[in-house]
Structure 1
Amino acid sequence: MATDLPTVDIAGFRSSLRAWLDQHDLTPGPDHSLDGQVEQLLRVRRALYDGDWMRYGWPEQVGGLGGPAALRAVLGEEIASRDLAEPGIWSMVEVLTPTMIAYARPELAATMVPRLLSGSEQWCQGFSEPGSGSDLASLRTKATRDGENWVISGQKVWTSLAQYAARCVLLTRTGPGHDGITAFFVDMDSPGITVRPLRTMHGVDEFAEVFFDDVVVPGHRMLGNPGDGWRLAMDLLPYERSTCFWHRIAYLFTRFDQLLTQIPGAAEATDTELGAAFLALHTVRCRSHATQRRLAAGERLGPETSVDKVLLAEAEQRLFDTARDLLPGVIELDDSPWRTEFLYSRAATIYGGTAEIQRNIIARRLLDLGKE
């Protein structure tokens, strides 16, 4: 059991975790569909929670065992490096759990967070809307007070894993401007919610559009107070770019290593392309490591994580561009994981905030270059 650790130090945690993973076979089964990936994700979470590993790095008031957030980064890195769970969907815990701890009523967080950590439930994040993706402040899904409840109507889109989710962290409009955005924690089986999966070009229904037709949500399911939604979103987005990115980078390094084993021969051009891909990955890992250190020190993350986002998107695309160039025909002609991941990487400069928006944030908020 993980709780047998005499001290929770990073090196000791990693060593004990690796020994535990060596003794517990969590290898994915033959079903590589999205259904299979989600089932594998929940299976891995359940096993890690039962072994206590999933509880380290989280506060005791939500069923955690305490310790620094870096322990969670180590856990995700080991899972990604062993290819036990798809890193994108694994990392949703790192986005939504801190949000619940910070904004939900303590009794709600204490009840709900263990369900997510233990693999009993999957959650989703209802932010983007048609015409309101990168410009999140223009969202129009409306929440109207009705006594002690709120009634929500509107539409969300690009909602990851909505068809599997039991709950949703949802942004709504309760008034004008940034101060008129309010967040709720919504049960996805509430009457009036319709989920329609969206087929993407890489052939996986990972995203969905979600319709809310007069959905009644109890007032105690509000996250924070009326008007706290924009602040919640600004607090949440840096978490997408901290521990989550560390997991993704670890996974991309495993794909780089796999690429090395599949290249038919080495040439000067090959070395040049591989070197550029490795340098891009190494650069974003160094940057992410600095972000992890800031997070571990309890510092508030902010617009500087836009640098992490730009570097990761560029590194991911360069890696799979290199795979396309050095594995002739594998992406164009074969139905292989390389093809699926190459197509998915095309969206790396779009999802989670477009590269253009991130560069604008860097220019305005970090370099003080003004609005133009």
Structure 2
Amino acid sequence: MNIDTFRTGLRAWLDAHDLTPAPGDHSLDAQVTQLERVRRELWDAGWMRHGWPEAVGGLGGPSALRAVLGEEVATRELAEPGLYSMVEVLVPTLISYAPAALAAEMVPRLLGGREQWCQGFSEPGSGSDLASLSTRAVRDGDDWVISGQKVWTSLAQYAARCVLLARTGPDPGHAGISAFFLDMDAPGITVRPLRTMHGVDEFAEVFLDDVRVPGDRLLGAVGDGWKLAMDLLPHERSTCFWHRVAHLYTRLDRLIDQTDVADAEATALGEAYLALHTVRCRSHATQRRLAGGARLGPETSVDKILLATAEQQLFDTARDMLPGAVELTDPAWRTEYLYSRAATIYGGTAEVQRNIVARRLLGLGKE
């Protein structure tokens, strides 16, 4: 199925099937429940299967079909885009690194809205410097025993499974890291939600105390953890970013609807639109490269910088054009404004991304 045919059919189906969230409840519990509902109904109707391999219950076709689906979900505000897009990071990882039978069993559970999963990468002191992580996995017979701590783990309190990185070798750098697929109800796992300044407990700390993991839950080979993490990034910075930009355009439209635009404000709106248009064009090019089989690398740091810049510029403009809304009168704008402050932190800080661009793309060295 080509993209235009897919989009036309999808829009007609969505027009005929109301997946709009219930009004009034904006809690994280409600968002997760709505996310499960959207995935389940789109999976049952077949739309969520497009762009995924038949081996995991998909219907095949280009990955761009998934981008179109996520764009429609974001534009119609059917599910929070950051939560919805987690499938674009976790499912390709499982398809590429898990035993085929495990991927075939598990992937439909996530895509079909029966489970949530999380990603256990960051640790206290090992966020952007992922190679310094200290959570350790020790082989015990056919199993592994894992101990350590993860932090900033999205939806961990709702998750049934976790894609987790741990150190399995003596090498202090990349080579000693392996990846595992954990059941979150395994003995020894404790989850503690974190309250962030935007008031939503989306993130959590995860404590692992001698957690036993079967040997067949190793993803890839021993020492493949860093490679898995690097392969994950292109998916995070292609389809996920495309969904995020679609969501930000809805916020720009809402801002325009809520303001009487004067000349100075029109300039600010134009600058915000230009920033969004720039990252959309860049994201479109990245999507096309990924769909064409290109292996993405450090150039996706440019996508990350542009997206973070555009997101913060948009919400700065909203704060300026809606006096008092963020600070006093509008909880929705306040929540999103505060969340946008983290755009230059999550997924790799702006400072790290600019260093990558300088050193690996521009060859400027370490000075």
If the length of structure 1 is used for normalisation, what is the TM-score? 0.97
1:293-324 CA-partner distances (Å, limit 9, x unpaired): 00110111111111000000000000000000
Amino acid at match of 1:103: Y
Counterpart check, 1:232 vs 2:228: yes
Q: Which residue of 2 aligns with 1:305?
A: 300
Q: Which residue of 1 aligns with 2:93?
A: 99
Amino acid at match of 1:270: E
278-287 or 28-37, which deviates more? 28-37
Counterpart check, 1:183 vs 2:183: no
The alignment partner of 1:113 has SS state of: helix
CA RMSD, 1 decimal: 0.6
The alignment partner of 2:124 has SS state of: coil
Counterpart check, 1:36 vs 2:68: no
The offset of 1:287, in angstroms, is 0.2
Q: Where has structure 1 moved over 4 Å in runs of 4 or more?
A: none
Q: Which residue of 1 aligns with 2:45?
A: 51
Counterpart check, 1:119 vs 2:105: no
Counterpart check, 1:69 vs 2:63: yes
User: What is the correspondence of 1:134-213 to structure 2 with a 5 Å cutoff?
Assistant: 134-175=128-169, 176=171, 177-213=173-209
1:149-200 CA-partner distances (Å, limit 9, x unpaired): 0000000000000000000000000111211000000000000000000000
Amino acid at match of 2:321: L
Q: Which residue of 2 aligns with 1:26?
A: 19
Q: Which residue of 1 aligns with 2:340?
A: 345
CA distance in structure 1 between the partners assigned to 2:336 and 2:105 by the alignment = 36
Structure 1 spans left out of the alignment, 5+ residues: 1-7
25-34 or 130-139, which deviates more? 25-34
User: What is the correspondence of 1:347-362 to structure 2 with a 5 Å cutoff?
Assistant: 347-362=342-357
The offset of 1:286, in angstroms, is 0.3
Structure 2 spans left out of the alignment, 5+ residues: none
Amino acid at match of 1:334: T
Aligned equivalent of 1:89, options 83, 86, 94 = 83
The alignment partner of 2:342 has SS state of: coil
The alignment partner of 1:163 has SS state of: coil
The offset of 1:336, in angstroms, is 2.0
The offset of 1:19, in angstroms, is 0.2
Q: Which residue of 2 aligns with 1:3?
A: none
If the length of structure 2 is used for normalisation, what is the TM-score? 0.98
CA distance in structure 1 between the partners assigned to 2:54 and 2:298 by the alignment = 29
The offset of 1:335, in angstroms, is 4.1
Counterpart check, 1:245 vs 2:241: yes
1:39-74 CA-partner distances (Å, limit 9, x unpaired): 000000000000000000001111100000000000
1:263-310 CA-partner distances (Å, limit 9, x unpaired): 1x2211101100110000000000000001001101111111110000
The offset of 1:223, in angstroms, is 0.2
Counterpart check, 1:266 vs 2:261: yes
The alignment partner of 1:26 has SS state of: coil
- Percent of matched pairs sharing the same residue: 77
Aligned equivalent of 1:13, options 6, 26, 45 = 6
Aligned equivalent of 2:363, options 351, 363, 368 = 368
1:113-141 CA-partner distances (Å, limit 9, x unpaired): 01110000000000000000000000000
